[in-house]
Copies of this chain bind each other. A is one copy, B any other.
């Protein structure tokens, strides 16, 4: 794919701020690991509160990680007066997630002026590791910032 380019030189600080300013993301302990134009990597340390009744990470917690990371990946490409909203996503839960950490990478597969399409991969234990526990395909709208 052709190299993606950030239009806002301050995209790193803005993305860091989005993670800190989102209470749901903070309450789940989702951390920003690294990012660049069109991609973002995150981590979520698993505790009991992330789990469903069998003790596995709840599909909704995995979906939150996948969605937020994808939004951040799409956000690296927008202009200074634009922001990202989730339009829709689809996620497959591939394996039962019984692990201490989940890692996620979101990658923009098609940037656009109106919306960007992103893929998020969620792994147990290691970024890019053997245990891919969920995979999502997401559509993110690029909208004018309100403030």
Contacts and interface: CB of A to CB of B under 8 A. Distances in A.
Give the secondary structure class of A's interface: mixed
A88 B90 contact: yes
A85 interface: yes
A21 B135 contact: no
- Size bin of chain A's contact surface: 35 or more
B58 A24 contact: yes
Interface stretch (A5-13, A33-41, A59-67): A59-67
Contact of A115 (B52, B87, B110, B132): B87
Interface in A13-36: 17-18, 21-25, 27-28
Interface string A75-111: 0000000010111111111111000000000000110
B2 A23 contact: no
B64 A92 contact: no
- Taking the full assembly, how many copies of this chain does it contain? 4
B24 A60 contact: yes
B117 A114 contact: no
Among A60, A64, A89, A139, find the residue whose CB has the most chain B CB atoms closer than 10 A: A60
20 contacts: A2-B130, A21-B53, A23-B48, A23-B50, A58-B64, A59-B63, A59-B64, A60-B61, A60-B64, A60-B67, A64-B64, A87-B92, A87-B139, A88-B90, A88-B117, A89-B91, A90-B91, A90-B137, A92-B110, A119-B135
